[in-house]
Amino acid sequence: MSAATAPSPWPAPVSATGWRLGRDWHAGALDAGVRWVLRRNCSVTPAQMGAAYLALCLLSVAIAVPFALHGALAVLAFAGLELVAVGAALLVYARHVGDGDTLTLAGQSLHVEQTSGSRTSHAEFRAEWVSVEPSHGEGSLVELAGQGQRVRVGRFLRPELRPALAQELRLALRSALGHCPSAHSA
């Protein structure tokens, strides 16, 4: 009798180039490197959400109008109030659907872009001066520090994958400096 175990339900795929979380990136003939895009996991796009909201509005109005025609104006008022509240919640959702971190290592420069709502912040690190450490301990955000700057990344990455991100960043930074074999041969 033999037993088999199932693989983890959330395996992180390893690309053909050896990167688990990052992807090779090419912006032209001269710019090439590795890019990590760490975004919020959103199951519905803003366009799909808008279509669902429109359908909800039509359904609510279709139900409330006959009641209003029979003298129950309160039903129409509460339907309107409900649609305004749901619309406000969906606007908050749509505003944060693009939140995330994008890290780009090109040459010996690591560029970090963080987006939260309508705010976007940028940080630039030289590969030889940046350190990659957990900010507090196991499973915490990954802290990039160097040249008087500190940036924490990985807030939309599952905690058990953050050490893998840190290891991948360290390997890519060393590779950019020529201190170790390229990660592509791994």
Can you tell me the distance from the alpha carbon of 128 to that of 49, in angstroms, rounded to the nearest whole number? Answer: 44
Q: 79 falls in which pLDDT band (50, 70, 90)?
A: very high
Per-residue pLDDT tens over the stretch 13-72: 444 456 677 776 666 655 668 889 998 888 888 889 999 999 999 999 999 999 999 999
Report pTM. 0.67
**E strand segments, 44-155:** 100-106, 109-116, 119-126, 131-134, 142-146, 149-153
Report domain extents, the chain. Answer: 33-41+98-185, 46-96
Per-residue pLDDT tens over the stretch 95-122: 888 889 999 998 889 999 999 888 999 9
pLDDT of residue 180: 53
Q: Is it the case that residue 171 has pLDDT exceeding 70?
A: yes
Q: Is it the case that residue 11 has pLDDT exceeding 50?
A: no
End-to-end CA distance of the chain: 36
pLDDT of residue 123: 93
Can you tell me the distance from the alpha carbon of 50 to that of 48, in angstroms, rounded to the nearest whole number? Answer: 5
Architecture of domain 33-41+98-185: Roll (2.30)
Q: Which long-range contacts (CB under 8 A, 24 or more apart) does 58-66 make?
A: none
Burial annotation 127-157 (CB, 10 A radius, 16+ → b, else e): beebebebbeeeeebbbbbbeeeebbbbeeb
Q: Are 139 and 164 in contact (CB under 8 A)?
A: no
